[in-house]
């Protein structure tokens, strides 16, 4: 199966539209949103075509194909208008035989991992910086070998990165621009 990951839409109708066009073109069966869906947050400038009501309508039209976790900008008010669950702090997913701990990244991240096993994948957004790398992380009193993934930000990328999303096909995770360029890829 093929899955699409995206994070940090921040209410941008422009980038939500591009994300859904990429989703349709990819043939992915599910869209996994890693938080910060509607609100831009007090530390961010307004994203291009900031129009949360348009984003709501676009995403609600795909509610049966979306899994989502809560970002630090997502609230109960957002859940009242979105027709799919968004308030879970994390989701445990087994995709193509790989265990994913999906979260936004403001609580759990590479420097503060949740309980994980060697070979697991931690995927999050929040930083607006794309990432696909293996890491040795501390989990209390033990080291754990995991893969850390971040699809980057769909609407407010940082660090000189382009706006991106990611695809998981079989065991290949690729971070892509909306122009179709693969900017980072890793085999899980």
Q: What is the pLDDT of residues 69-87, one digit of tens each?
A: 999 999 999 999 999 999 9
Mean residue pLDDT across the chain: 96
Mean pLDDT of all residues in 63-68: 98
169 pLDDT above the threshold of 90: yes
Q: Which domain holds residue 19?
A: 2-187
CA distances from 4 to 23, 75, 124 (A): 7, 23, 13
The band of 45, judged by pLDDT with boundaries at 50, 70 and 90, is: confident
Structurally, how many domains does the chain consist of?
1
Mean pLDDT of all residues in 166-181: 97
CATH number of the domain residue 101 falls in: 3.60.21.10
Query: Global pTM?
Result: 0.96
DSSP secondary structure string for all residues of 93-140: EEETTEEEEEE-SSSSBTTB--S--TT-EEE--SS---EEEEEEEEET
User: Helix (H) and strand (E) counts for the chain?
Assistant: 3, 11
- What is the rounded CA–CA span in Å between residue 185 and residue 188? 10
174 pLDDT above the threshold of 90: yes
Q: What is the pLDDT of residue 41?
A: 85
141 pLDDT above the threshold of 90: no
């Amino acid at each position: 199966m093929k899955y699409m990951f995206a994070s940090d839409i921040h209410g941008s109708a422009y980038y939500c539209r591009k994300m859904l066009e990429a989703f349709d073109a990819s043939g992915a069966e599910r869209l996994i949103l890693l938080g910060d869906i509607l609100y831009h947050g007090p530390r961010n400038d307004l994203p291009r075509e900031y129009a949360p009501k348009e984003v709501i309508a676009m995403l609600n039209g795909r509610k049966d194909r979306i899994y989502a976790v809560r970002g630090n900008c997502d609230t109960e008010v957002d859940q009242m208008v979105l027709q799919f669950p968004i308030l879970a702090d994390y989701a445990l997913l087994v995709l193509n035989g790989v265990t994913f701990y999906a979260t936004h990244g403001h609580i759990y991240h590479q420097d503060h991992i949740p309980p994980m096993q060697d070979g697991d994948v931690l995927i999050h957004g929040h930083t607006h910086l794309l990432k696909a790398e293996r890491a040795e992380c501390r989990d209390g009193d033990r080291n754990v070998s995991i893969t850390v993934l971040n699809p980057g930000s769909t609407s407010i990328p940082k660090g000189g990165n382009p706006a991106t999303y990611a695809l998981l096909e079989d065991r290949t995770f690729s971070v892509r621009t909306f122009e179709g360029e693969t900017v980072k890829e890793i085999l899980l």
